[in-house]
Structure 1
Amino acid sequence: MIARQPVTVLAAKGKATAAKGFGAAKPGQAGQKGIAVDAPCPCGSSALYQGCCGPYHAAPATVPSPEALLRSRYSAYAAKDPSFIADTTHPDSAEYTGSRTTYQRAVKQTMARLDPLALQILSSSPGADENEAFITFRLKRRIRDPEAPKNAPEVDEVTERSRFVRVNGRWFFQDSEFPEPDGAAPAAAAAKEPEAAPKKKGLLPFF
């Protein structure tokens, strides 16, 4: 079984303060990616979007840690922002197929079918050195099947273990795997059979 370990939320809790003076955000004003700056951040950190994932969506190179990257990528799915996913996926990732345009189009197609509903971080662990880290999380999601458009969207949950790498001081998503529920060794996402949960729905691994 996957050990549930407490993970510190990176964003400060409570209401973030908008910049004063010209250009200060007004209550309810849309943020960088269409999420109101004074709305709760989609990642579930209990902070407001403007004080949590919002600044990272505006400047992907500033994401300071693997957990912040995981949370901001989750929020990017909620905001339907494929460019942030492309910006924060390492080009050597098996998921990053073809050109940036091709990959971003594939992410956009996944976003059109998937709505993230809840994120629960289960555990985190270091990698081979300080430039590699792993985070295991539980995702609740709503999925629309394009082959059955009249059917109600399906809601399910999936556990994913993502690997993050730091290159020249910047964190990227590298790849992910899906731990078996009985605690067996996880299989790499790329090696999964077509019947594996994310693949059978034609969706990319997420974060």
Structure 2
Amino acid sequence: MTRRFRAAVLRGYEDPFAVEDVVLHTEPAPGELLVEIAGAGMCRTDLAVRRSAGRSPLPAVLGHEGAGVVVASGGGPGTETGVGDSVVLSFDSCGHCRNCRGAAPAYCDSFAALNLFGGRAQEPPRLGDADGKALAPRWFGQSSFAEYALVSARNAVRVDPALPVELLGPLGCGFLTGAGAVLNTFRAGPGDPLVVLGAGAVGLAAVMAASGA
């Protein structure tokens, strides 16, 4: 079954993003979810791809601060999140390496392959443009600059449906980064001095984490 929708495609380094018709050639496999994107943040990392000198494959659909509603599930282990659930999307991880098993998926042995290079190596291209040319479909496990994203259930976090899901995308990267820096890297405690430079999603998350530390 194919699904046609719109996405922001980056075709070349230094090029602008272009909104195009794209085609998803598959339904969710076991352990995957199809999410209708309600909103996505724009992170510096998405912009950095335009100057990455070949680090990430193009053409591609980027976006890694997506949030939306699950519209289809492939079932299987790890897919307790189901159709109709509101979710925030974050990065992908293998789930099997020592760091993943040690509750540190941000340091997954396969992080670069799964997140920076556009998808899982064992998968054939599943997303294409209107002319049938393959697009890298799994930037940070989601490629959420699109109306739909096919994601691993591992990087979809269920949230309260009463919350405005279209505003929650930055929780999947910017807020993780800012809060994680304060709580996990600096390990700031009561009375510790802390300077935060910048008040975007990362900076504000750092301030929020520090105020509650």
- Measured against the shorter chain, the TM-score band is under 0.3
- TM-score, normalised with respect to structure 1: 0.26
**Greater relative CO (CA pairs within 8 A, separation 6+):** 2
- TM-score, normalised with respect to structure 2: 0.26
